[in-house]
A and B are shown apart, each in its own frame.
Chain A
Amino acid sequence: MKHLEELEDKSVYILREAYKNFDNLCMLWSIGKDSTVLLWLMRKAFFGHAPIPLVHIDTSYKIKEMIEYRDRLARDWDLTLVVGQNKEALEAGMAPERGRMECCTALKTRGLQQVLDEKRYNGVIVGVRSDEEGTRAKERYFSPRDKNNDWDFRDQPPELWDQFKTRFEPGTHVRIHPLLDWTEINIWEYIKKEDIPVIPLYFDRGEGLRYRSLGCAPCTTPIRSTAKTVDEIITELRSTKVAERSGRAQDADRGMEKLRKDGYM
């Protein structure tokens, strides 16, 4: 499992660089497997501690179990949890039926923006992976966002030899991506190796269905699968050629590129 060690070392290095160089840092935690592995890596990097607050953007459409799981880990692992929600949009009736892009923009992108504005975070750690979709493959480990939260992918700063962008103009922030080199299988291999408690929604519980990727309940569909254990998931993934996010609605028709340019994770 040497390659998992390599991945872990790099991510830990990035997390420690972030912690040292940003005075107001947060980590996004979607409760999904990737950001939970990221949270675990934070505990690796800081020897069992979680000194960086975790921001969870609650769209109110998350599956109920996700919230319970979130609160349990927060207690068990002594996490500082910051929950953000775009209440105005919800009160105004925002829902997936109004259009998926609109809904994602209002509840996730805007919801996140509100927390960032309020807490003035200047470093935001996000668990995106390069293999998820095309624009994420082009991310830097430390990726600057301007005052409007926009990503200028046409002109990204150089990044080499693990020297990262840790200086930035006031009013802007930096997205930090420690998981860019990990694939979906790597995530599960690591979950197995470290015995990380992931949310049971990822496993088939007798109905022949499991979630491969977790988002909001209305916009994420489970896949047909009988994988009941981490091992079975790894075996399943090794033989599948279906893209991970095929159960996610946002990715159709350049949706992701637009969302991400405007500050989506």
Chain B
Amino acid sequence: METAKEHFQIVFVGHVDHGKSTLLGRLYADTDSLPVGHLDKVRDICARQGKVFEYAFLFDAFLEEQEQGITIDTARTFFSWGERQYIIIDAPGHKEFLKNMISGAARAEAAVLIIDAGEGIQEQSKRHGYLLSLLGIRQVVVVVNKMDLVGYSEEAFRAIEKEYRAFLAQLRLEPQYFIPASARNGDNVAATSTAMPWYRGHTLLESLAHFVKLPARTDLPLRIPVQDIYKFDPRRIIAGRVEAGTFSVGDTLVFSPSNKTAVVKSIEAFNVPNVIHSVPAGRSAGFTLDEQIFVERGEVASHKDAAPEVSDRFRANIFWMGKNPVLTGGRYLLRIATTEVEMEVEAILGIIDASTLGRGESPQRIEKNDVAEVIIRTRRPIALDRYADIDTTGRFVIIEGYDIQGGGIVMEVFKDEQEPFRAEARRRDFEWRRGEIHLDERVQRNGHYPGIVLFTGEKGSGKARLARHLERRLFNGGKQVYLLDGKNLQYGLGTDLSGSDKEEMVRRFGEVAQILLRAGQIVVSTTNTFALADHQIIRALVHPHTVITVHMSFVEGALPDNTDLHFLESDDLKAAAKTIMELMEEKNILL
């Protein structure tokens, strides 16, 4: 055995019983790749169970798999050939185990899809083909197996080839080879078949070497999703895998969605011979920054000129593996790279029938094993990419309960009404020239973080009274606090604006608020000038500072969206202020 120069992962897929495990077993046996005694052990088991010998038993290791003659879960097998160490994943073909097939296929760089010459193209042959395209696997070899059952007929082979080629073409997949084979007899597995002189192409074994290693994602824009932050020693190390691009010491990094920026001071690693200056895509890295900015797991570091999208709404293609169907309005957890966020299925646009590739109209629900097109809304804006642009930050999983039950890829990122303001905030943050004092230092001296409390509600419901009371309480408690009334801008900063320029007024308010926040202040705001939609604009502008929204009304009733607290006009002031301050503690404004 040679030293492997590279790793390569391949998955074997196809309809149940079409011979995937047998083909794999045969490949190992015919290349003398099994440990000594292994084949005999399996022959022995078969003999004792009174069965004919099955190559499939080499990898179908569970007793149940052998008893039922079916693969239940994927097996990871190791095959060394030429300069490559292959990991070949044997996936199950039974529909019930589709989630296992997906778990195996998602790791692969290429696929071998097996079709039984006797049975022809079946439901899972198509579904697996479709899922391969969805999982981004572009390199495919199709093996038409069990040619012995059709008398090694070229006609039978060509018919399947023609039909399946046409199917894959709709998915824009073009198989590298179609290989007629008999796994049972070893035809065209490792050795060229003498039974099919009409076929002059490669054997399966030869075809494996023609799969090419996908280029590392180094040429794409930089993406490092923050995995964790370590302070085991004086170094404050940000850990994360470079999912795309390359970064170097001295680079200015932007963290999305918080828009924080800092310069890479050092690249850290344990037991390496030389100081590391730059790290390419694929590597699990760690680095320190020139400033102690506050970043969290889930943020994505990039370069300034090619940052990821930030949004809370996108269109996606998903596949569902859960037992419970997905309904419109269904709430789940979404995980994309290292971000985890609550999500809602806003709309189901269509279910894709894997065998016809047609789209079902006005679907009500997504059932287990369905592929669907949906619109997803997340609870807060997240950093993401279109799958077509950067796959690693454009794919996600959906968690229901304790388990991953779905997966998907981002097709289109929507811009909401706040997008222009979000873009403004980003541009402004990137270019912001900071003073000598860092926010950390202000926080340390003030004993609290900055944050903004927005009061909403009808006229006369007691907003102003409560806001003033809160300001007084915070001030007396030694906090840096300022009550900013939107009205106050009207005769100064907004004197050039007419009543119809309300959005511009809100924008200016947001910008003033964010300056106060930068200065470390807690901002309390109450005004009737602003409506609820305006609050979303303010949120976008003061991002990533913490915003608390308090609603006041005369009677109990439905609350506006994004409301954190609700009080009645008749409520006790002191108690209300206390509740607000407790929330401020919970949200980490007050420490």
Instruction: Enumerate chain A interface residues (CB-CB to B < 8 A).
Output: 2-3, 5-10, 12-13, 16-17, 19-20, 43-49, 51, 130-131, 133-135, 137-138, 140, 153-154, 156-161, 163, 165, 167-169, 180-181, 183, 185-186, 189, 194, 237-239, 241-243, 246, 254, 257
Contact = CB atoms under 8 A, between A and B. Distances in A.
A167 B32 CA distance: 42
Contact of A17 (B7, B227, B269, B407): B227
Interface of B: 1-7, 32, 34-38, 59, 61-64, 72-78, 85, 87, 99-100, 102-103, 106-107, 227-228, 230, 232-233, 235, 237, 239, 241, 268-271, 282-284, 286, 297, 321, 335, 392, 395, 397, 399, 401-405, 407
Among A6, A10, A16, A186, max chain B CB count under 10 A is at A16
Given A48-B270, A137-B59, A242 B35 contact: yes
Contacts of A48: 232, 270-271
B115 to A, nearest CB: 24
A217 B78 CA distance: 29
Nearest to A180: B76
Contacts of A16: 227-228, 239, 284
A257 B102 contact: no
A12 B284 contact: yes
A9 B103 contact: no
Contact of A134 (B59, B85, B282, B321): B59
Contact of B399 (A156, A167, A180, A189): A167
Contacts of A46: 230, 232, 270
B4 A165 contact: no
Contact of A158 (B77, B85, B102): B102
B87 A181 contact: yes
Nearest to A251: B41
A134 B75 contact: yes
Given A47-B232, A183-B85, 14 more contacts: A6-B282, A9-B284, A20-B297, A43-B270, A44-B270, A47-B235, A47-B237, A134-B61, A138-B76, A153-B62, A156-B73, A160-B102, A237-B1, A257-B63
24 contacts: A6-B7, A43-B270, A44-B270, A47-B233, A47-B268, A49-B232, A133-B61, A134-B59, A134-B62, A137-B59, A137-B77, A153-B62, A153-B72, A157-B404, A158-B99, A158-B404, A161-B397, A163-B404, A169-B402, A181-B7, A181-B87, A183-B78, A237-B1, A242-B35
A193 to B, nearest CB: 10
Contacts of B232: 46-49, 51
Given A138-B74, A158-B321, A243-B37, A13 B227 contact: yes
A138 B61 contact: yes
A257 B62 CA distance: 7
Given A169-B402, A238-B1, A154 B270 contact: no
A158 B405 contact: yes
B283 A9 contact: yes
A161 B407 contact: yes
B403 A158 contact: yes
Contacts of A140: 103
A160 B75 contact: no
Contacts of B405: 158
Given A16-B239, A158-B405, A163-B397, A45 B284 contact: yes
Contacts of A47: 230, 232-233, 235, 237, 268-270, 286
Nearest to A43: B270
Given A49-B232, A154-B72, A165-B403, A130 B270 contact: no
Contact of B407 (A49, A51, A160, A181): A160
A159 B5 contact: no
Contacts of B87: 181
